[in-house]
Amino acid sequence: MLDLKSKAGQVSEQGYCVIESVYDEQECAQMRTIFKGLCHKKGGFSVEQSTIGFHPLLEWGPEMAPFYAQPVLVDLMAEVFDDDVRLAHSGAAVFNNALVSPVLTGWHNHYSWQIPETGLQRRNAERVLCNVYVDGTMPEVGPLIVLPRSLNAQTDSGGEAKAEWESQETVSIPSGSAVIFDTAVWHCSRRGSSDGLRHLWGGHYQGWNNPTPHPEDNTADNSTVTAYKNQLPLVKKLLEDPVN
């Protein structure tokens, strides 16, 4: 049994937590099949297109909606927020290791809100990023690198976007694992040693009692998502305000 309070505490103490192997290999294979079709729709990979992104994911691939209805992840984020959880942004990217540069993504975070002169004074993370690493982040796939930070630590960058930063940590996780980040956490990724594909999808989440807009908010309103909302209560709970 996953200790939700302990995992939520890690988000406050170090800025992120890991939930290993949330999705089994059969589910990961289903995801890869969906993304294979989506990549084909976007013209496939080439030297000019080594990475293919999908934003909003639920607009490009609404058949991914059931995978968002993962109770352990939603319950954990509810513990972080002390609130019901809403999906504010859906997105994904598929990277071709044979074509991408050694620095897959440079250092970045997703906070985007104005920080008071007195610094952050939060009780909990008001928004999190939950990424699912379909293929994991082992060396052959490519590492995820994070800069741990406590809840109200300074959010200044630690250096150049493509450089190594002091106190950085490499997160190595098996396929089907998820990482929940405070959006203030700096992170980056590097190319793996294999020539395979790297599949990443997820979302940005807030509590329903926190209506603050964010520049990366997106929505997807289509018949397939509507059908899944009617079939899966947890999808509906993530996408529809429980008050209305």
For the question of whether the overall pTM of this predicted structure is more than 0.75, the answer is yes
Type and span of the H or E element at 30: helix 25-41
- Max alpha carbon distance in the chain (Å)? 49
Confidence of residue 244 (pLDDT cuts 50, 70, 90): low
Question: Tokens 């952050």 sit at which residue?
Answer: 120
Which structure tokens are listed for 148?
A: 């741990």
pLDDT at 52: 98
Compute the half-sphere exposure of residue 198: CA atoms within 13 Å on the CB side of its CA: 29
Q: Where are the domains of the chain?
A: 7-229
Q: What is the mean pLDDT of the chain?
A: 96
Q: Is 159 helix (H, G, I), strand (E, B) or coil?
A: coil
H-type helices in 42-110, by residue range? 57-60, 65-68, 71-81
Share of the chain above pLDDT 70, in %: 99
Share of the chain above pLDDT 90, in %: 91
Range picked from 116-120, 162-166, 184-188 for highest mean pLDDT:
184-188
Rounded to an integer, the average pLDDT of 182-205 is 97
pLDDT tens digit string along 18-35? 999 999 999 999 999 999
Which structure tokens are listed for 181?
A: 């980040």
Q: Which CATH class is domain 7-229?
A: mainly beta
pLDDT tens digit string along 71-84? 999 999 999 999 99
pLDDT tens digit string along 134-162? 999 999 999 999 999 999 998 888 789 99
Spatial separation of the C-alpha atoms in residues 202 and 190, rounded to whole Å: 19
pLDDT at 40: 98
The answer to whether the beta carbons of residues 163 and 216 sit under 8 Å apart is: no
* Residue of higher predicted confidence among 128 and 119: 128
Rounded to an integer, the average pLDDT of 50-70 is 98
